[in-house]
Every structure is written in structure tokens, then in C-alpha cells.
Amino acid sequence: MPKPTKEFTAKLQRVRKLLKVRKLKGLLLSSRANFSWLTCGKNNQIRADVEKGVASLWVTSKTVELWCNNIEERRFREEETAFLPLDYRVYPWNQDEKKQWLPKGAASDDGAYGTLNLKDEIAVLRFSLTPEEIIRYRQVGVLAGEVMGFVGQNVEKGWTENQVALELSTELVRRGLEPTVILVGADERLRRFRHPLPTNNKVNQTVMMVVCAKGSGLIVSLTRLVHFGPLSVDLRLRHRACLAVECAMWSKSKVGVAAEDVFQSAVTEYNNQGYPGEWKKHHQGGPAGYETRDYLAIPGEKRKLVKDQALAWNPSITGTKSEDTVLLTKDGLEVLTPTPDWPMVKVECGGREFSRPDILEKR
């Protein structure tokens, strides 16, 4: 059996501490996010349209078992989890024997089989990323940023939103990433909808591209805008105001600060910029990682930001938006999703200067 890696051991300690505090016999992890987290970036999904995967991890104070049906066993043993020190328990594909394997005093991440649902408590274990996860996250962010830059430089006036989405998806898959969200909104659809799913609407002047991409289980989010022809004064002002809101949230994002306080910093800056009602039209983002957002920053959200946590704030003002995934370190914020050859603008906030993506103007 392979020896446990430092990352796997550290995560197992977090789980077993929860077992001890909760006085549990064991914990069953079946969700995509939790499986990827504990297996150091591996995948238990076959279908992308369900959250629960085809394999589960059963963790006790002594062992870690992978439970799956006979269809999946060989692939997991030889490829997906071959490097992990796991015991395997296998059942026929036409039966589900997990219920009879679970002892009294078991918990899970989804409440399956009548177990105690500890979804929220398990999620907390993922918030502070390990050094190994940070390395993988940087790689995912760089690749996603490359895709956004490539498509932004190549998109042409007259393309449909679906064509833009095709290019984004193709380039992500080419780099080994999975598109989990692709939004493309052009012109009037951009101004009307905060979540513009791509259509055959053609790009005339302005197009917004939104990507959420997954690699090694970790998800990055980023948004960029491209404009053909001279940029209007109104759109430029709106975008700069949106950047100011984002930078206010960045300035507030420190270890130990409650998410509700970051949210309030956004509301205040919307007011300062002259767009007081815009925050009501879309959420402002939140901590990220193995989920697109682990939770949203909203009024009353008391959870506090932690060291080495990923954040994806996404303020928007009608017609524009700003979004990147960043890492909250002891030294401040690190942008995980840089976009090569993209025009940047300096934004001052709280005595600090931030470099943020401008709207790419094309002739």
C-alpha cells in the first residue's frame, strides 16, 4: 500500500479531529468537493449534473476506505486513487450495500442513509488551503487566465455568444480544465441580465465573458469585458466604479474579518460611487475553493475569513462586472487568475493601489 503524503495526512487529521469532537464512529464523504479535497485533487464524478459521485470515502479513527461499485473499482485502484493508502470495499453495480456497512454513530456530508448530516462542519475543514493545494490552485488560475486572454484577443465583432462560449470551453478543455460555468452576454443582453447564458445573439459592441473552471477539484472564477470601437464615457465610469467596489472588498479582506463586514464595505462603496442600488441586483461573491462559492457574503454572515483561503468577489454595476479569484495570505491578497496582455488600470483604495483589469478595447 502506498505511503500517505504529507497533504493527505494533514487533511486526515482535520477529519479525525472532527470525529473525536463529535464522538462519531466514522464519516462518509460522497460529494465531489469533499472527495476531491481529501484525495488531494482526484475526482469521483462520472456525471457532471449531480453533486454526489460514484465513489465515497469512509473515514474512521483507524482506516480510510473507498466504497464503490464493481464498474469503478479497477479505474480507481489503477488510476484515480492509486497513490493513496486506501482500503477498498466494493459492491455489485445493481445493488447499493453502503447502508448495511454503516454503523450507528456514523455521519456524512449529505445525510444519506439516515446519517447525521455534517455538510457545513466538513466544509470548514477545506477553507484553509494546504501548501500543495495552493500550488495546484495557482496552476489552475494561470491556465484559466490564459484562456480568457486568448479568447478576448481573438473574439470578433459579429460572433455569436455561443461562438464565444465555444472558444472559451474548447480552450479550457485543451488545457485540462473543466468548464463549470460559462456566461457570455453581449450588448443589450449584458445590460439586462446578470447571468446571461450564451445564445445566438451577435456581438456588436460590448461582450462580457464569465468563466468558472475546475482543475484538480479546485474552481477559479474570472470575468472580462471586450468592447469594439470607442468606449462610451458612461460605460468607462461604470466599470471604474465597479473596480472601486471590488477594491474596497479587497481592502477589507483580512484574516479574522467577518464576511458580513466585507459585504458592508461593498455596499458603502456602491454608495460612494453613486450607484446605491446596484448591490441588490446580484450577489457580491464569497470564499471559494472546491466549490464555486463555499458561501456568500451577505448581511449577518458571521463566518470569518481564514489564512490561505481563496476568495472570489464579483461586484457588478449594470453593463459591467469585475471578478478574479484571489488567495488570502498572511501578506495580503494574491491574484490567482492573471490575464496575459490585458489592459490594466490602477485603483486607489484605503491608502493602497490595486491593479485591475480594464475593458479591452478593440477597433
Domain-ending residue, one of 106, 126, 146:
126
Reported as a single tens digit per residue, the pLDDT across 79-138 is 999 999 999 999 999 998 899 999 999 999 999 999 999 999 999 999 999 999 999 999
Whether residue 213 is found in the same domain as residue 331: yes
Is position 50 within any domain? yes
> What does the pLDDT read at residue 253?
97
Domain range for 20: 6-126
pTM to 2 decimals?
A: 0.97
> What does the pLDDT read at residue 45?
95
Whether residue 276 is found in the same domain as residue 353: yes
Whether residue 64 is found in the same domain as residue 208: no
Domain-ending residue, one of 126, 143, 163:
126
Burial of 334 (0-12, 13-18, 19+ CB in 10 A): middle
Is position 192 within any domain? yes
Burial of 58 (0-12, 13-18, 19+ CB in 10 A): buried
Is position 1 within any domain? no
Whether residue 184 is found in the same domain as residue 80: no
Which strand (E) or helix (H) includes residue 360?
A: strand 360-362
> What does the pLDDT read at residue 96?
87
> What does the pLDDT read at residue 4?
79
> What does the pLDDT read at residue 1?
73
Structural domain tally of the chain?
2
> What does the pLDDT read at residue 194?
97
CATH number at residue 118: 3.40.350.10
Burial of 291 (0-12, 13-18, 19+ CB in 10 A): buried
What parts of the chain have a pLDDT lower than 70? none
Whether residue 203 is found in the same domain as residue 55: no
Compute the distance between CA of residue 233 and CA of residue 268 in angstroms, rounded to an integer: 23
> What does the pLDDT read at residue 2?
84
Is position 349 within any domain? yes
The sheet with strand 52-59 has its strands ordered as: 87-91, 64-69, 52-59, 26-31, 106-108, 116-117
Whether residue 52 is found in the same domain as residue 166: no
Domain-ending residue, one of 78, 101, 126:
126
